[in-house]
Structures are given as structure tokens and as C-alpha cells.
Chain A
Amino acid sequence: MSKCSVGLLALSSLFLSGAAIAQDKIKVGVTATLEGTYTVLGEDGMRGHQTALNVLGKKIGNKELEFIVASTDATPDSAVRAVRKLIEQDKVQILLSPLSGDEGIAVKNFAKTHPELTFINAASGAQETTYVDPAPNFFRYNMDGAQWQVGLGKYAYEEKKYRKIATVGEDYSFIYTQVFGLVLEFCGAGGQVTNRQWVPLGTKDFASVIAALPDDVDAIYLGLGGADAVNFLNQYQQAGGKAHLMGGSIMIDQTILSSKGNAKNALIGTIAASGQADTWEDPGWQKFVKAYQDAFPPNKRFPSPSLLATNYYDSTMALILALREVNGDLGDNQSKFKAALAKIELDAPNGKIKLDSNRQAIGTNFVTEVVDDGKGALFSKVVKVIPNVNQTLGYDPAVFSKIGLPSRTVPECKKY
């Protein structure tokens, strides 16, 4: 009995001391897809996060940031489970979460149940997250999937003279949003999207999907990511595929371009659009690439940061800069911190970022083309830089709202 109570005492004192330490620490929960199809994306996201900490430091006035990482697998329930665990068990005050599209929608909805906390989106890019019924405490410093496709449709139609294309994409919100952006612009320019194929996230065997690709089109758009994209390319090579390709933002990304094997060579010459371009000359970007490369040994990173690394870098940067602005004051339900987050303008490596009234990023987009650097490594080369891309893609908000929400069949292929 006495032994037991001594043990309890020791335990409770441990908890108390933990609470005492928490006074001069700010606890931040981070989630990343460290399991499943998007593992590689999550890992590089964490590298971007670490790079930001190296550059900016963890000190906020006299307080120090403490990060607790939880893993998800790109499904919405795994994200909510991870976020809930971070809040309830680890008592985090701020969240840097999540990575993937469906997760984003789920975490945004969950954020409403904790209005006192602050959620900073790490990298997810579904349109619905901030466009439909946004949560007042959810901030997104990366553009959504549709914004990341701005410029691609026009470039394909006008420069590459593609008239008819077909799409293959993973069957979830982020890729819907990407195809949404592509179709709006491509069809608006006069092109036709004849066929949209959707495959479940985590598909391994694409042989039948590849066989079903139409052959009377000028190009095939691939909206795949992570292991799915690599599997697709590998089997595409084995099936002897020769079509022109176009790529979504996580398809033409170092997560795929530096994968092992030679199947990725099918991507050379592929045009794509994304929130970054590997070979951009901008000094801010080059500095970030250098910081990323210096932070990790060459075999533990990609030759150049992926889109996920950049997004995690930007969101971590927003977190730290806004906290410094209020000197770490999280009182009054973090209201000062939230106001600072909403106002902040980031001088991010991939262009200037500010938030709109839905707390959604307005940023810079890049049209790119995949090139071989001569030593067998692939990079995305800048073709066009488009600043100030907002969530309604330059459409009048009233017109934009009539198009409907991104889904398997929305938008229709016509001029809005």
C-alpha cells in the first residue's frame, strides 16, 4: 500500500513538473503522412519543417517551441485521430496539420470543435477546406490544387497545341481540385477533355487503367502522387506507352522525379504546374534550396526540396513569424496570435504569400517542364511564373460559385 502511494506521488510530481515546464514552452503538434502511399511526401514535408527550424530557430522571446509529431496515412480518419491525440494527450496549443487533401477537410471540420486552438494547414490542397464553410481558426498558407494548376491549360493549348486530352487521377478531393483547375482553363481556352479516369488512392496495379487510356488524344494528364505515381510510370513503361504526358503538382515533383529506376524517364518533356519550380532563379528560392541541401546528407534528402517540403517550410515560417510578432502571447484564446496570422505576409521561397478573407493563400504559381540535367537527374524547369493567384482563379466570385465544387465530373468541359 505505502509503496503504491509513494509511486503515485512520484508519478503526480512528474506530471506537475511537466506542467511547470510547459509554462515556458509552446507546444505545437505536427502531422505528416509517414505511413502508406504518401510516406515519401510526408518525410520530405518533415524535412522542410526542419529546414525552417534551422533557418528561423525555435525561440519565441523567452519561450521555446516544442514540436510533437504524429503520423497519418492520408485518410481523413487517421488525420483526425492524430490531431485528437495531439490535443488531448500531448496538450498541444497549436497544430501544424495536415498534409493531404481529404485530411484537410476533416481537420478543418474538427478545428471548429476547438475554437480556442489554432490550426495552420501544413500542405493539404483541397478546395473545399477553405472555400466551403471555413473554420475561423484554420489558416492555409499554401494554394489549393486548382490554384496550383493555373497556367497549365493555356500553355498546353496555346504553346503545345494540345486539343484533346484525357485525365487519370487518384479518387479524392485534392486531385479533384487539381483536375478542376486544369479543366476550367483548358476547356476555357477551347480544348476538350474527353475522358476522366479515377483510381483509388493506393492502387498498385495500373495495367488495366493503362490499357483503357484512349489513344485518340493529344496528351494524357496524370494526377497521381507518391507510390501510385511510381507504380503507374513503371507499368506504363512495361506496356510500351508513348503518349505525351501532362502532370499534376505532386506528379511532377522531386518525390517522383528522383525515385529509383528508369521508369521516371517517361516524364522528360512533360509539362506541369505547381506552387514551385526546381530551377527557379529567384535568390530567395535558391537560398531555401541551399538551406534544405545543407540540412541533410545527400542520401537522406532529394536533390532539391519537393512541393511538400516547401509547404511545410512556409507554414512553419508563418507560425514562427506570427508568434514572434505577438511575443508568444497565446492568452485570450490565442486571439492576438490568430489576428497576426491573418495579417501576415510571407516572403516565402516560392513567392510572396498573403491570406484572403477565408484565410486561404494568394500566391505565385509556376508552369514547368521536366528536363534532364545531363547526369540522369530530373528537374522541373520554369516556363512561366504567374503571381497573385487567388482561390477563385481570377473568376468573379459569383461566377465561380456557380461552377460547383470539384468532384469526379465537375467542372463540365465548357467556358464559364
Chain B
Amino acid sequence: MSRLVERHPVWALIAIIAVAILLWLIFAVWPPGLEEAVGRKRVFLNALFNGITLGGLYFLVASGFTLIFGLMRNVNLAHGSLYLFGGYVGYAISTSTGSWLLSFIVAFILTALVGVLLQVIVFRRMEGQDLRQTMVTIGLSIVFADLMLWACGGDFYQIQTPNWLIGPIDLPLITAVKSSGEPVYLRYPLVRLVIFAASVVIGVAMWLALNRTRIGMIIRAGVDDRDILAATGVRIQLVFVLVFAFGAGLAGVAGVVGGTFQSLSPGEDIRFLLASLVVVIVGGMGSIPGAALGALIIGLAEQLGSVYIPTYAIVVTFLIMVLVLAIRPQGLLARR
């Protein structure tokens, strides 16, 4: 950290000032002039929190995608289908058993199994042939989409939020002060906070697993040089299957999350595939911290954009992608 400051003093200063302004915007009571200029603080805080929580969802989808790409160089364009599949499984489980938590577990296991099948039946047969893999997975995603449309119809499904998560809670952030001097606190949907916390936990756990465990070491070695790793006697195909299963399972979990605070319908698969593509392009293909950063940026851009520049909100995401591609084509946190 200190080395970074020494190397880029100007940028570090700008970053510190930006963080300070942001913290002030979050914690201070806004003076009336500012409220008039940019709108109410409640709106800003909500947009900010929504961006961060939406980023949490994007991270869940994109981290599996980027993990698979990082290790195996497989561009799995059927990743969105895994998301939707997980969501439908979660819906079926939560309506039949009434348990929200169980739906996560089942969705994870079933999508992980689909992932294993994909890896064994499809990807292993065309290792190293990027174009073929891409075409085949596009085809598969279309087939999956139609199969799911056939099985579940075009209706939109929503996974019931458990009762203890419904409704808003008051956060200790003051959005305004009433004329009587009584502070008004930010009310925020509890379910989004819980989901965000869960994605942070998963992210940190993944980072720890990759950097502190033996299997993580093997995966990192595989990212750097598969052939040498295989030559050292590691059963590389088994590692591939495990990683693919885990990445797919994460997409399934994300499907349940998405089905809870948004909804599931045909077309969501493409939307989340696109979102995770943008996220990993911005963050850097194959990098978990990159996926986290990219997801945060895209989530914030979507939400702040939809509040402050609603007309152009839809292009903001792609503008960011274009900018990153122009300035740092390998992605913000890619190693090379």
C-alpha cells in the first residue's frame, strides 16, 4: 500500500479525497443547497446501496464464470442458462418444501451436476479449441433456454422471501432531520443486505480457498501453466471437473438470489450472461478480485445511472466497458 502511494502520489491523493467525499456524503446530513442541486440524500443512499447489493448478485454469477475461464480457458456461454436453471430449481424447492435455505443447497448441487456433465461431455472433448467451445456453448444455451421454456413456460416466477426477511429495517444513517430536530433514518430492504453479506462471505471464502489451501494452490498453478501442473502428477481433469462444478453451482445459487429479489423468466439467462461478460471484461478475465471490482462498478453504474441519468442509464454500463477496453484492454485487475 505504502509503495503504491510512493509511486503514484497524485493518484493516491485523488483517491483519498474521493473516498473522503464519499464518506462525507454517506454520513453527513446534507446541507439544503446540496439537496437542491442533486436531490434528496435518501435517494442517493438508496441508489448507492442498491448498486452495491446488485453488484453482490453480479459477483455471484460472474465469479463462477471467471473462475472457469481462468483455469480452463473455457468461455462458457451457457453460464446464463445455469443461472436460470438454478433459479427454477430454487423456485420448485422453495414452493414444495417452504424452505428458502434448502433451495440454495439443492440449486447448488443440481447446477453443479449439470456443470460436471458439461465439462465431461462437452468441454473435455474440445480442449483448447476456443472457437468450437464458444459455438457449442452458444448452441447449448439456446437449447437450454427452449427446454426451460417448455418445462416452465413463459411465466415469471418469484421465490418467496422468508417472512423474517420481508420488509425494511432502519439503518443508523441519517438521511434528513425533521423540523422538530428528530433525525430520519435510512430504511432499507433487509433481504438485500442479507444477500449482499452472503456474497461478501462467499467472495472472501473463495479468495481464502484460492490463496490459503492446497487445492487453491493447485488451481492457481493450473491457471499459470496447465501442462506443467499435469506433468507433476496432479489429476488435472479432476481439478477441472471440481472447478467447473463449483463455478456452475455458484451460478445456480445466484439464480436463487436473483429469483428472490428480482424474478425469473425466459430471457434472464441472456441478461445475466451479458452482465457477467461485461463484469469480467471490466474486471479482468480470470481474476476473482477483478470480478468483485467489476461487479461493484457495473452494479453502481446501473443504479446510480437509473436515478440520475435515467435516459442514458442503459448505455452507461457499456460506456464503462468501452472505456476499459480502450485504456486497459486486459481488464482493471488482470495480472497480465
Contacts and interface: CB of A to CB of B under 8 A. Distances in A.
- Do A and B bind? yes
Given A231-B262, A235-B189, A205 B50 contact: yes
A36 interface: yes
A202 B191 CA distance: 22
B156 A211 contact: no
Contacts of A234: 158, 261-263
Contact of B307 (A171, A203, A212, A238): A212
Given A34-B154, A230-B156, A260-B158, A208 B307 contact: yes
Interface stretch (B160-168, B240-248, B279-287): B160-168
A204 interface: yes
B158 A263 contact: yes
Contacts of B307: 208-209, 211-212
Interface stretch (B131-139, B204-212, B265-273): B265-273
B166 A237 contact: yes
Contacts of A103: none
Nearest to B53: A207
B306 interface: yes
Interface string A33-46: 01111011011000
Given A39-B154, A40-B155, A238-B189, A200 B313 contact: yes
B192 A238 contact: yes
Nearest to A227: B156
B81 interface: no
A195 to B, nearest CB: 11
Given A208-B303, A238-B192, A39 B265 contact: yes
A197 B313 CA distance: 13
A227 B154 CA distance: 10
B168 A238 contact: yes
B54 interface: yes
B267 A198 contact: no
A261 interface: yes
Interface residues of B, number: 43
Contacts of A207: 46, 50, 53-54, 189, 192, 303
Contact of A212 (B43, B51, B153, B271): B43
- B154, B189, B306 — most chain A CB neighbours (10 Å): B154
B144 interface: no
A260 B157 contact: yes
A283 interface: no
A298 interface: no
B220 to A, nearest CB: 34
B293 interface: no
A231 B46 CA distance: 17
Nearest to B54: A205
A211 B271 contact: no
A8 interface: no
A299 to B, nearest CB: 10
B47 A208 contact: yes
Given A208-B303, A209-B306, A238 B154 contact: no
A35 B303 contact: no
A227 B265 contact: yes
A34 B50 CA distance: 31
B266 A239 contact: no
B241 to A, nearest CB: 32
Contact of A211 (B50, B161, B314): B50
B263 A238 contact: no
B263 A204 contact: yes
A397 interface: no
A240 interface: yes
Given A73-B267, A205-B303, 20 more contacts: A39-B266, A39-B267, A171-B310, A171-B311, A204-B262, A205-B54, A205-B302, A207-B50, A207-B53, A208-B43, A208-B304, A210-B46, A226-B156, A230-B158, A231-B262, A235-B262, A237-B167, A240-B189, A259-B155, A261-B158
Interface of B: 39, 42-43, 46-47, 50-51, 53-54, 153-158, 160-161, 166-168, 187-192, 261-263, 265-268, 271, 302-304, 306-307, 310-311, 313-314
Interface of A: 34-37, 39-40, 42-43, 73, 171, 197-200, 202-205, 207-212, 226-227, 230-231, 234-235, 237-240, 259-263
Across chains A and B, which 5 residue pairs bring their CB atoms closest together, nearest first?
A211-B46, A39-B154, A238-B189, A240-B168, A207-B50
